[in-house]
Amino acid sequence: MKKVSQLIYSFALGAMVALPSFAQPLEQPNSPDYNPKATYDGPYKMNTWSISAHFGPSMFFGDLREYDFWPVTKTTIDRHKESGTFQGGLTINKQLSYLFGARLDGSIGNLRGMKSRMYGRYFEGDYFDVSLAGTVNLKGLLMGPNKMKRWKVDVYAGIGQVFYDATAYSLVGGATIRETGKMNDWMIPTGLNVSYELSPRLDLGLDFRLNHTNSDYLDATYGGDYSLDPSDGFNIQNQKTSRKGNSELDSYGYGSIQLTYKLGKKPLKVKKVDGKWDYRPEDGYYNLRYTDPKVLLKAPKILTLEEMDSVAKANRPKDIDPRLLLDTDGDGVSDFFDKEPNSPAGSIVDGSGRVLDFDTYVKNALATGAACSEIFANVQFETDKNVIKPEFQDMLKNVAQLMNKNGCRLQLAGHADRRATDRYNMALSRRRVDAVKNFLINEAGLTDPSKVIIDYFGSFKPIADSATRDGLQKNRRVELKLLP
């Protein structure tokens, strides 16, 4: 029996130690209120501590017990009252996760019992016990977090110590037969706790508990010693071990009314809105006793097509100023920035669209040794042609001369009007760019072709209205951008 008891104690203690590791989260989501030290899985901090007070009748189960299920309630000639004993105490509760927790109990009370058959005696005694137990949320385990939302049903088991002082008396005459003196022993508490959430702070409940002791002496009687004759002085009465006897070990328990005060700041109690539980973790802290942290995670909203369209309209950027897309004079500077929007065809312009006297600019740049500035120009083409027209050849020669002397770079971008397929226009715009580059190298004397950067866009970037003849002419172009 001793080895069995030790095995049970070891198992109970190991279970309590393991509870926190069972409750450890695998991953914690990010949250402004994230608690990295929490033993539960969830993004929000929660209140986990509470303290309870309980009071109710106590009951003894052992050798000096007349009936198995119902106590003797009156004292007569050959009976002694077993009922009327009470106990009370405090419990500190720590919820480790929604399903698992721990409780530290301390209670004080008295016990009473009698046995007319064989023993012919009764006993009375006082006790104090303290224990640590692990709890399992039976309601949450079997029914989930949202059914019987206001209720909490726990089962628990643990290990503790009981300190007691009992005296056995003869049923006839009331003579003292044996006294235990102050003794203590190990015990295993098991129980069922049912609580109802009254408010964010208070719970009302019932606690039913049975303590299995490692003693056969709680009633000051060894099981099986009823055959002893008082005339020989009860020769075992001086034995101090409380684990002797021929019967089962003693037990005691109680049924209590329990009032629980939930600790923590800004406590919340979930409310029901339109038939659903409405969780608002941003307003405070729910208690882990009643709220599974996973229910606080809000599922992502799946938008309808109408909602997506509304969001897209609300976030649509402002319309682009149409002047950014127009270049009326075809000089390579959009009308939005162009300070001279009516530059003559083939003009050399600066970044603001002002017409430059290219010869004057070249002379000044050479004389002062100034770095190259951005200069824009366009070379226009006939329909479906990539031949450099005479009026643009001198301009290209001047550009090549400036590049040779000042080391400027040149960016070329070819374009076409819309009167062909996209595939054809892309090829045509590339032929026009290649024509300008080849002219710069072969005719204008450009010495470093690597300084020419080319690109082509077909008809995808018009600078004028393609519905008019003049607009089509402006769109058939190669843009030149001289760069430092």
- For the chain, give every domain's residue range: 2-296, 322-483
Tokens 């995808």 sit on residue: 460
What pLDDT was estimated at residue 295?
Answer: 86
pTM score? 0.57
Does residue 13 carry a pLDDT above 50?
no
pLDDT level of residue 375 (50, 70, 90 thresholds) = low
Query: How many Cα atoms sit within 13 Å of 459 on the Cβ side?
Result: 17
The CATH number given to 322-483 is: 3.30.1330.60
pLDDT at residue 345 is higher than 80: no
Average pLDDT, the chain: 83
Is domain 2-296 in CATH 3.20.20.70, yes or no? no
The radius of gyration of the chain from alpha carbons, rounded to an integer in Å, stands at 48
Burial code (b: 16+ CB inside 10 Å, e: under 16) for 209-228 equals bbbbbbbbbbbbbbbebeee
Phi, psi (degrees; rounded to nearest 5) at 428: -65, -45
How many Å apart are CA 484 and CA 468, to the nearest integer?
A: 36
Predicted local confidence at residue 151, as pLDDT:
94
By the 8 A CB rule, do 324 and 336 touch? yes
| Overall average pLDDT of the 380-384 stretch | 91
DSSP β-bridge partners for residue 480: 377, 412
Do residues 382 and 476 touch, judged by C-beta distance below 8 A?
Answer: yes
Weakest-pLDDT range from 188-192, 232-236, 276-280:
232-236
Which of 184-193, 316-325, 464-473 shows the lowest per-residue confidence on average (mean pLDDT)? 316-325
- Check pLDDT > 60 for residue 346: no
Tokens representing 407?
């080391």
- 282 falls in which pLDDT band (50, 70, 90)? confident
Average pLDDT on 411-418 reads 92
Percent of the chain predicted with pLDDT > 70? 81
Q: Is 255 left (phi over 0), alpha (psi -120 to 50) or beta?
A: beta
Cβ 157 vs Cβ 119: under 8 Å: no
Contact 380, 347 (CB under 8 A): no
Residue 422: strand, helix, or coil: helix
Q: How far apart are CA 56 and CA 171, in angstroms?
A: 27
Of all residues in the chain, the percent with pLDDT exceeding 90 is 45
Q: Which residues touch 51 (CB under 8 Å, ≥6 apart)?
A: 90, 91, 92, 93, 260, 261, 263
pLDDT tens-digit readout, 22-81: 444 434 444 555 566 677 777 788 999 999 999 999 999 998 999 888 898 898 888 899
444-459: average pLDDT: 92
Question: Distances from the Cα of 121 to the Cαs of 95, 157, 166, 217, 242, in angstroms?
Answer: 45, 32, 13, 14, 19
Burial class (CB in 10 A: 0-12, 13-18, 19+), 298: exposed
- The answer to whether 295 and 439 have CB atoms below 8 angstroms apart is no
Work out the average pLDDT over 114-133.
Answer: 93
